[in-house]
Amino acid sequence: MGDFFQNGVITTLHRLNPNNEKILENELMEYMKHRPIALILPTLFTELTGDALPKITDELCTVPYLTQIVVTLGQADKEQFLFARNFFSRLPQETVIIWNDGPRMQALYKLLKDEFYGWESGKGLAAWMAYGYILACDKCHVIALHDCDISTYTKEMLTRLCYPVASTSLDFEFCKGYYSRVTDRLHGRVTRLFVTPLIRALMKMVGITPFLVYLDSFRYPLAGEFAMIADMAWRNRIPADWGLEIGVLAEVYRTCTLRAICQVDLADNYEHKHQELSPGDASKGLMKMAIDIAKNLFRTLASDGVIFSDGFFNTLRAVYVREAQYSLRRYHNDSLINSLYFDRHGEAVAIEAFAHGVRIAGEQILKDPLGIPLIPNWSRVISAIPDFFNKLLEAVEGDNM
C-alpha cells in the first residue's frame, strides 16, 4: 500500500506514482519560463574522483529545466580547480565553479572576516557563498541544493525536489527532501538514534513547543537536499558547521509560514558515503556532527527563552538515553520483520557516544551561550558592503575565464 499519511504540522508530498517523472519534467519546463531554477553542488575535490559525482554529472547532463548550476568547490589547489573546470565543462547548462580556496575568493573571505565575526569553513559557508552568487546574477527564482556523494542518484530526485517550489500550482517556499536509508541494514544513525530521540527528550523537558513539534514533523531532518525560493537566501542565516541542516530548518521556521513548507519523497532508497562514529574523538565523524547539531538546537531554544543549567543537561542526558533506547528497540523490531541485519550492540554503543555528545554540547553552551554566530543573511552583508556582489561576480568570472 502506498504511504499517503500526513503527520505533523508541515505538508508531506509522497511518491505514490514513480512513473510520472516525465510529466513533472515537462511541467518544470513550463514553470522555468517564469520561475527559473538554479542548482548548487557543494563538493570537495576528492568527490570528483569518487564513484558518485561522475554519475551525478551524467544525470545532470540530461536535465532540461535548469537555468544555472553553481559548483562550490572546497579543498582544491589550482591544478585541482582546473581539473574541476574540465570535469564540469560537459554540462550543457550555464555552469560556474566557485573556487573557495583560490586567491580571488580568499580575498573576499578576508573582506568578510574584517567586517564580521569569523566563521568556520565548511559546507555551510560554501553553500552560503553560492547563494550570494545566484542572488548577484539575479537570474533564478528557485534555488535547489543536493549533496555530491549520492551513489543512487537519478535526475528524478532533482525533479521531485524542485517541483513543489517551482510549481505555480503548489507555490511552496521551502521544500525538504526525504528518503529511506536501507541496504542490508538500516542506516541514518544520527537521525534515528540521536536527532529524533533528542527532540522528543526535549519535549519532555521544556514542553511540546511549536518549534519542537515542527522539527519532529520532518521524516529526515538531516537530509542534505532542499529547494527554496531565492528570496529566502536574502533573509535566512545559516550555520557554517555540521549543524547546517538543523540550522536551516530553524531559520525557515523563523522566517516562513508553516503552510509554505513541505517535505517530499525523493526516491525508494538513498545511499551515500558513511561517516565513522569516532566515539573517542569529539572533533570528527558522527560525534562532531552530533555535538554541532545539539549546540545549534540548544542555541535556538535559548533564543526562544529556554533557560539551561548543569542540572537541565544532566537530566536531559538521562531522558535522551531512555528515548534513544526506545527507538533502538523499535528499529530492531522493524529490522527483524524485514529480515535486515541489525547490530544491536553497535547501535547501543552509538547511543552511549551520542549521550556523551549531549554532555559536551551542554558544557559548551553553558560556557559560551552564543558561540560562533550564524553566517549573516545576504541583506545584512550588502548593507555593510554595498559593492560585494560586484566583487563576487568579478572573482567568480575571473576564475572561470
Predicted confidence (pLDDT) per residue in 258-270, tens digit: 999 999 999 988 8
Mean pLDDT of 174-190: 94
Give the Cα-Cα-Cα angle 163, 168, 172 (nearest 5 degrees).
Answer: 60
Q: Is the pLDDT of residue 1 over 60?
A: no
Mean pLDDT of 84-96: 97
Residue appearing with cell numbers 542490508: 184
Neighbours of 350 (CB within 10 A): 23
For residue 129, what is the enclosing H or E element? helix 123-137
* Residue whose C-alpha is closest to residue 317's, from 260, 355, 276, 361: 355
Distance, CA of 401 to CA of 156 (rounded, Å): 32
Instruction: Count up the domains in the chain and report the number.
Output: 1
DSSP 18: T
Distance, CA of 390 to CA of 386 (rounded, Å): 9
Model pLDDT, residue 55: 96
pLDDT tens track for 108-117: 999 999 998 7
Distance, CA of 124 to CA of 240 (rounded, Å): 4
3-state secondary structure 75-88: CCCHHHHHHHHHHH
Burial 292-309 (b: 16+ CB within 10 A, else e): bbbbbbbbbbeeeebebe
Listed in sequence order, the residues at least 6 apart from 302 whose beta carbon sits closer than 8 Å to its beta carbon are 308, 365, 369
Mean pLDDT of 98-109: 97
Listed in sequence order, the residues at least 6 apart from 255 whose beta carbon sits closer than 8 Å to its beta carbon are 232, 235, 236
Question: Is residue 293, in this structure, part of any structural domain at all?
Answer: yes
Question: Is residue 344, in this structure, part of any structural domain at all?
Answer: yes
- What burial class does residue 166 get, using C-beta atoms within 10 Å of its C-beta: 0-12 exposed, 13-18 middle, 19+ buried? buried
Mean pLDDT of 170-175: 94
Question: Is residue 72, in this structure, part of any structural domain at all?
Answer: yes
3-state secondary structure 199-258: HHHHHHHHCCCHHHHHHHCCCCCCCCCEEEECHHHHHCCECCCCCHHHHHHHHHHHHCCH
pLDDT tens track for 383-397: 999 999 999 999 999
- Structural domain boundaries enclosing 146: 11-400
For the entire predicted model, the pTM comes to 0.95
Distance, CA of 257 to CA of 252 (rounded, Å): 8
- What share of the chain in percent tops pLDDT 90? 84
- Banded model confidence at residue 2, pLDDT cuts 50, 70, 90: low
Q: Is the pLDDT of residue 162 over 70?
A: yes
Question: Is residue 148, in this structure, part of any structural domain at all?
Answer: yes
Distances (CA, A) of 273 to 4, 47, 92, 307: 29, 10, 27, 37
Asked if 6 contacts 141 with a C-beta cutoff of 8 angstroms, the reply is no
* Residue whose C-alpha is closest to residue 94's, from 66, 72, 73: 66
Model pLDDT, residue 22: 97
Local structure of 241: helix, strand or coil: coil
Q: Helix crossing, 155-166 with 52-60: angle to 10°? A: 50
Listed in sequence order, the residues at least 6 apart from 250 whose beta carbon sits closer than 8 Å to its beta carbon are 211, 296, 297, 300
Distance, CA of 253 to CA of 164 (rounded, Å): 18
Distance, CA of 366 to CA of 357 (rounded, Å): 14
Question: Is residue 3, in this structure, part of any structural domain at all?
Answer: no
pLDDT tens track for 318-359: 999 999 999 999 999 999 999 999 999 999 999 999 999 999
Distance, CA of 391 to CA of 305 (rounded, Å): 39
Model pLDDT, residue 374: 84
Listed in sequence order, the residues at least 6 apart from 176 whose beta carbon sits closer than 8 Å to its beta carbon are 218, 220, 221, 223, 225, 226, 249, 261, 262, 263, 264
Total number of residues shown for the chain: 401
Q: Is the pLDDT of residue 67 over 90?
A: yes
pLDDT tens track for 21-51: 999 999 999 999 999 999 999 999 999 999 9
Average per-residue pLDDT in the chain?
A: 93
Mean pLDDT of 231-248: 87
91-105, 285-299, 368-382: which is most confident: 91-105
* Residue whose C-alpha is closest to residue 400's, from 59, 97, 14: 97
Question: Is residue 162, in this structure, part of any structural domain at all?
Answer: yes
DSSP 258: G
Looking at residue 181, which CATH number applies to its domain?
3.90.550.10
Mean pLDDT of 118-128: 85
Model pLDDT, residue 282: 72
Question: Is residue 184, in this structure, part of any structural domain at all?
Answer: yes
